[in-house]
């Protein structure tokens, strides 16, 4: 069992941040997609299932934990603090309408707490509330999540990150071709859904994107 400090240290070293949802796996199982992501060298994954019952989600989360353990990956659960604790996840990612960070922290003090934010005000509030990292998005238009928020665009990376003292990820409509511009603006932890999970060769796609992040960062 990792400590909070060990989990945060590992989070500090991530690059690509794949997010897996059953409906965006191109007809393949989420576990298969995770295996391929792991083969590509990713260091973290988020399980985000909005339409599964708890009865179906818990065994899937436990399967994800086994795969992540085999490859030394961090596992982040979207929304479900209770399932995160039961399956031994490393963290929880919370949206604006989910459990408050303070409440989640009381229940799961050793887990990483991430927060989805869509504006400067939300980002700074999440930081003040004790989030361990925030996600900024959507950067571009996206079809994988109905947020009700307009795309933030690349310019947001010049205004919010300088005000943060915690790590941030970016997400929303991001494709491989966007990587150089994102990294040049300081976004080195990049969350992606369909660009990875619907790829014909997922492992190769992950390796390609990770290589691009590294090259753009150096």
Q: Is 95 exposed, middle or buried (0-12, 13-18, 19+ CB in 10 A)?
A: middle
Q: How far is CA 170 from the centre of its chain?
A: 9
pLDDT per position as a tens digit, 166-184: 999 999 999 999 999 999 9
For the domain 14-217, what is the CATH superfamily, name and number?
Aldolase class I (3.20.20.70)
Q: Is 145 exposed, middle or buried (0-12, 13-18, 19+ CB in 10 A)?
A: buried
pLDDT per position as a tens digit, 54-78: 999 999 999 999 999 999 999 999 9
How much is the mean pLDDT over the chain?
95
- 162-187 as b/e: b if 16+ CB within 10 A: eebeebbbbbbbbeeebbeebbeeeb
Report the relative pairing of strands 91-94 and 74-78 from DSSP bridges.
Answer: parallel
pLDDT attached to residue 144: 64
Residue 162 scores a pLDDT above 70: yes
Rg, C-alpha atoms of the chain: 16
pLDDT per position as a tens digit, 116-145: 999 999 999 999 999 999 999 999 988 766
Give me the residue spans of the domains in the chain.
Answer: 14-217
Element (H, E) at 176: none
- Determine the length of the chain: 218
User: CA 22, CA 49: separation in Å to the nearest integer?
Assistant: 7
pLDDT attached to residue 147: 57
Mean pLDDT, residues 76-104 taken together = 96
Closest CA to 72 of 44, 113, 107: 44
The answer, as to whether pTM is greater than 0.95, is yes
Residue 33 scores a pLDDT above 80: yes
């Amino acid at each position: 069992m990792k400590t909070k400090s060990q989990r945060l240290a590992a989070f500090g070293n991530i690059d690509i941040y794949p997010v897996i949802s059953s409906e965006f796996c191109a007809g393949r199982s989420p576990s298969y997609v995770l295996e391929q992501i792991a083969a590509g060298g990713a260091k973290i994954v988020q399980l985000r299932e909005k339409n599964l019952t708890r009865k179906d989600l818990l065994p899937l989360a436990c399967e994800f934990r086994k795969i992540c353990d085999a490859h030394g990956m961090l596992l982040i659960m979207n929304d479900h603090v209770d399932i995160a604790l039961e399956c031994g996840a490393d963290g929880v990612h919370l949206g604006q309408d989910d459990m408050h960070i303070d409440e989640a922290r009381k229940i799961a003090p050793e887990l990483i707490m991430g927060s989805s934010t869509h504006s400067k005000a939300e980002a700074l509030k999440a930081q003040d509330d004790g989030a361990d990292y925030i996600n900024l998005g959507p950067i571009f238009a996206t079809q994988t999540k109905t947020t009700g928020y307009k795309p933030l665009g690349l310019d947001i990376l010049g205004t919010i990150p300088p005000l943060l003292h915690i790590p941030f990820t970016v997400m929303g409509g991001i494709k491989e071709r966007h990587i150089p511009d994102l990294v040049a603006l300081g976004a080195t932890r990049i969350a992606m859904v369909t660009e990875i999970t619907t790829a014909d060769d997922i492992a190769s796609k992950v390796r390609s994107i990770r290589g691009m992040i590294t090259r753009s960062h150096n």
